[in-house]
Amino acid sequence: MTRTVEDIRRVVNRLGNLLIEKNERYGDSALDPIRLFSRSDALEQLRVRIDDKLSRVVRGKGLDDEDVLFDLIGYLVLLLVAMMRKNEG
């Protein structure tokens, strides 16, 4: 196994653990939001969160911040999950 493969697995495993930890901590709020104020579906809410993270990166407040990048990638993964679920149903 190459170093690159090991590094990819390390990053992907870390991302998976982060997503699972946040899901357990906050409930399934990204894919099944309570919707107290907003009536937007989970797909649209995830797109807004992604836009917010990208805005911070573009404004120079996150490009070098590992946590911001993990959050962004995490939201993209959750968006894919939401899209897959929508296509199933």
Residue 77 has pLDDT above 90, yes or no: yes
- Helix, strand, or coil (residue 58): helix
Instruction: Select from 47, 31, 39, 44 the least CA-distant residue to 81.
Output: 31
Distance separating alpha carbons of residues 38 and 25, to the nearest angstrom = 21
pTM > 0.85: yes or no: yes
Q: Which residue has the tokens 């797109």?
A: 47
Mean pLDDT of 59-81: 88
Q: Give the distance from CA 55 to its chain's centroid.
A: 15
DSSP 40: -
Q: What is the pLDDT of residue 68?
A: 86
DSSP 67: H
pLDDT digits over 5-58, tens only? 999 999 999 999 999 999 999 999 999 988 889 889 999 999 999 999 999 888
